[in-house]
Chains A and B, each alone.
Chain A
């Protein structure tokens, strides 16, 4: 009779040493801890310098990828508070429009306009969502699905904000490299900052609101105010991304509220693993180049996202990033039962 085997999963020795022992005993352990995030950071910082080799096209793709990574991280942060948005283009479009308004009406420099647009965009979104923040689960998603559509229809109907043609002539923000580095900095700050926030006591409350808001309320914490603050914070990255892309394209129109900007962050987050900020960014970093490769197929891209989304939900519910992280920290072997 052949012996039966089972799969055993063990932490690597180096993980145990470098996590449980608080002193890192040498370069190898230091690199083990910092290696992955350092590699990612260096890659992000170096890519704009490779322009002579990659050509302008892929540099623009990089910029769009950065914007989408920010939008996806913003989606995942809100998901961690239990606010699942089906219309993330709301944040993206509001940021874009307000940046354009700041640049065109107030005539402030582009950088100030972007920052102003991002801040006022996140505040505006938080105020817009304030009446519906108390809704749970699906019902919040329903409203967020409707809101970007509502805004674009209102713009179409009232012809405010340039109507169907949008706001044209938004001044550019420095060179392409300047825009890229602005977004790289924002991305690094967002990914590591928000992750740290979620791991802190503040994040504990946010997770508790997602898991059992009645319990949190019973503990004397004003859930509504916390959700409002989280929404303002969470919509900031997407709003900034929308603003930077508006200065890049020199125009912002109703397409800023389009479905693409809602589906892509969602897919990126589910593909990468919505639990961690870095995973979501990795998901977006994989998706955007893929979508560029598929550009020739027009709207078939959206179909590909959607199919990927369903496959990821069904087959890899923890996300690719969590899978990779497990492989990094643990190894598996077959042992006889």
Chain B
């Protein structure tokens, strides 16, 4: 019984982590169709920025986190204008260019030697909570709360603010939106910056669970792909469901089969969903047309 409860609880935490890491990629892709393969790079970049502000410049925790998010947003804007815009609308060139930018960031950090045990972030909240017979540290619960909060915030942003409505209008009916005065470059810049900022939020919340390591950037990319592909891009609910599904399965798999198996699950899920149900578990037909 304890084991089941612990798998459920840690599965929920894992799902929250997946959702946080995937949100940025998915938001950018869903809103402006830009597959931002530099997502993992931005994720680790903001982790290091936060680390630098916190440990070297001794900023307060909250301020350092905000600094990381701000830097990530600026990087997102630069990424759009320098890398994506020259090849905009050439989908595969966009993929290659952003992929290259992301790998360049990560490998630059590796070359700079940012791979030792010194690079870690403190948890947002200290202490631990015992639920039933399972002990969870408070930070993991904070991650779950943050994931839920961010999901709701994005949902509200897309429906209640003018910017959010403009972004969704561009995603749904591009020409109508353009004729109503929505500016394409502005929308795309906002979507990439927003996605990058969300990657930074994820970094600040998720990275304290371990060391900041370069390979986590590639893993983040993988997670983002898995959740986005499995959930489909058009509905936040799909993302949440996909994150829950993948989170529970990976935790169960690592308990039953061993820790190495968890990543196999993401990849198998991507391949299986694309092969069997290309629009994602909650996706609709519009996307099917683009994918198959």
Physical interaction between A and B: yes
Which of A's residues lie within 8 Å of B, judged by CB? 84, 86, 131-132, 134-139, 141-143, 145-147, 149-150, 153-154, 156-157, 259, 263, 266-267, 270, 297-300, 302-303, 305-307, 309-310, 313-314, 317
Whether B7 sits at the interface, judged by CB under 8 Å, is no
Extra A-B contacts (11), CB below 8 Å, given A142-B270, A310-B100:
A86-B95, A134-B292, A139-B278, A146-B225, A153-B260, A156-B260, A157-B258, A270-B96, A306-B100, A307-B104, A313-B100
A131 vs B264: C-alpha distance when bound (angstroms): 18
Whether B87 sits at the interface, judged by CB under 8 Å, is yes
Residue with the highest number of chain A CB atoms closer than 10 Å, among B35, B222, B261, B274:
B274
A147-B271, A299-B107 are contacts. A136–B292 as well, Cβ < 8 Å? yes
A251 vs B268: C-alpha distance when bound (angstroms): 28
With a cutoff of 8 Å between Cβ atoms, the chain A residues found around residue B221 in the complex are: 145
With a cutoff of 8 Å between Cβ atoms, the chain A residues found around residue B111 in the complex are: 297-300, 303
Select from chain A the residue with minimum beta-carbon distance to B221.
Answer: A145
Would you mind naming 14 contact pairs between A and B with Cβ atoms under 8 Å apart? Answer: A84-B95, A138-B95, A142-B270, A149-B218, A149-B267, A157-B260, A270-B96, A299-B111, A300-B111, A303-B104, A307-B100, A309-B97, A310-B104, A314-B97
Instruction: Report yes or no: A150 in contact with B268, Cβ–Cβ below 8 A.
Output: yes
A146-B267, A298-B111 are contacts. A139–B96 as well, Cβ < 8 Å? no
A138-B91, A147-B267 are contacts. A313–B96 as well, Cβ < 8 Å? yes
Instruction: Report yes or no: A142 in contact with B103, Cβ–Cβ below 8 A.
Output: no
With a cutoff of 8 Å between Cβ atoms, the chain B residues found around residue A153 in the complex are: 260, 263-264, 267
A48 vs B264: C-alpha distance when bound (angstroms): 43
In the assembled complex, the CB of A4 is this many whole angstroms from the nearest CB of chain B, namely 28
Interface residues in B87-105 (C-beta closer than 8 Å to A)? 87, 91-93, 95-97, 99-101, 103-104
With a cutoff of 8 Å between Cβ atoms, the chain A residues found around residue B290 in the complex are: 136-137
A163 vs B242: C-alpha distance when bound (angstroms): 31
A147 vs B267: C-alpha distance when bound (angstroms): 7
Residue with the highest number of chain A CB atoms closer than 10 Å, among B91, B100, B104, B292:
B100
Instruction: Report yes or no: B35 in contact with A138, Cβ–Cβ below 8 A.
Output: yes
Whether B182 sits at the interface, judged by CB under 8 Å, is no
With a cutoff of 8 Å between Cβ atoms, the chain A residues found around residue B86 in the complex are: 313-314
Residue with the highest number of chain A CB atoms closer than 10 Å, among B91, B229, B271, B278:
B271
A310 vs B222: C-alpha distance when bound (angstroms): 22
With a cutoff of 8 Å between Cβ atoms, the chain B residues found around residue A299 in the complex are: 107, 110-111
Instruction: Report yes or no: B95 in contact with A141, Cβ–Cβ below 8 A.
Output: yes
Interface of A is mostly: helix
A137 vs B278: C-alpha distance when bound (angstroms): 13
Which of B's residues lie within 8 Å of A, judged by CB? 35, 37, 83, 86-87, 91-93, 95-97, 99-101, 103-104, 107-108, 110-111, 218, 221-222, 225-226, 229, 257-258, 260-261, 263-264, 266-268, 270-271, 274-275, 278, 290-292
Select from chain A the residue with minimum beta-carbon distance to B291.
Answer: A139
Select from chain B the residue with minimum beta-carbon distance to A298.
Answer: B111
A270 vs B225: C-alpha distance when bound (angstroms): 24
Instruction: Report yes or no: A86 in contact with B270, Cβ–Cβ below 8 A.
Output: no
Instruction: Report yes or no: B274 in contact with A135, Cβ–Cβ below 8 A.
Output: yes
With a cutoff of 8 Å between Cβ atoms, the chain B residues found around residue A146 in the complex are: 222, 225-226, 266-267, 270-271
In the assembled complex, the CB of A310 is this many whole angstroms from the nearest CB of chain B, namely 5
Instruction: Report yes or no: A138 in contact with B218, Cβ–Cβ below 8 A.
Output: no
A267 vs B104: C-alpha distance when bound (angstroms): 12
With a cutoff of 8 Å between Cβ atoms, the chain A residues found around residue B258 in the complex are: 157
Partner pick for A86 among B99, B218, B263, B275, CB 8 A cutoff: B99
Instruction: Report yes or no: A259 in contact with B103, Cβ–Cβ below 8 A.
Output: yes
A156 vs B35: C-alpha distance when bound (angstroms): 29
Instruction: Report yes or no: B260 in contact with A84, Cβ–Cβ below 8 A.
Output: no
A302 vs B108: C-alpha distance when bound (angstroms): 8
With a cutoff of 8 Å between Cβ atoms, the chain A residues found around residue B95 in the complex are: 84, 86, 138, 141
In the assembled complex, the CB of B115 is this many whole angstroms from the nearest CB of chain A, namely 10
In the assembled complex, the CB of B126 is this many whole angstroms from the nearest CB of chain A, namely 33
In the assembled complex, the CB of A242 is this many whole angstroms from the nearest CB of chain B, namely 21
With a cutoff of 8 Å between Cβ atoms, the chain A residues found around residue B83 in the complex are: 310, 314
With a cutoff of 8 Å between Cβ atoms, the chain A residues found around residue B222 in the complex are: 146, 149
Instruction: Report yes or no: B100 in contact with A309, Cβ–Cβ below 8 A.
Output: yes
Q: Which 3 A-B pairs have the closest CB atoms?
A: A157-B260, A150-B267, A306-B104
In the assembled complex, the CB of A48 is this many whole angstroms from the nearest CB of chain B, namely 32
In the assembled complex, the CB of A160 is this many whole angstroms from the nearest CB of chain B, namely 12
Instruction: Report yes or no: B103 in contact with A131, Cβ–Cβ below 8 A.
Output: no
With a cutoff of 8 Å between Cβ atoms, the chain A residues found around residue B92 in the complex are: 84, 137-138, 141
In the assembled complex, the CB of B239 is this many whole angstroms from the nearest CB of chain A, namely 16
A149-B218, A306-B100 are contacts. A143–B271 as well, Cβ < 8 Å? yes
With a cutoff of 8 Å between Cβ atoms, the chain B residues found around residue A313 in the complex are: 86-87, 93, 96-97, 100
With a cutoff of 8 Å between Cβ atoms, the chain B residues found around residue A298 in the complex are: 110-111
Select from chain A the residue with minimum beta-carbon distance to B260.
Answer: A157
With a cutoff of 8 Å between Cβ atoms, the chain B residues found around residue A305 in the complex are: 100
With a cutoff of 8 Å between Cβ atoms, the chain A residues found around residue B100 in the complex are: 263, 267, 305-307, 309-310, 313
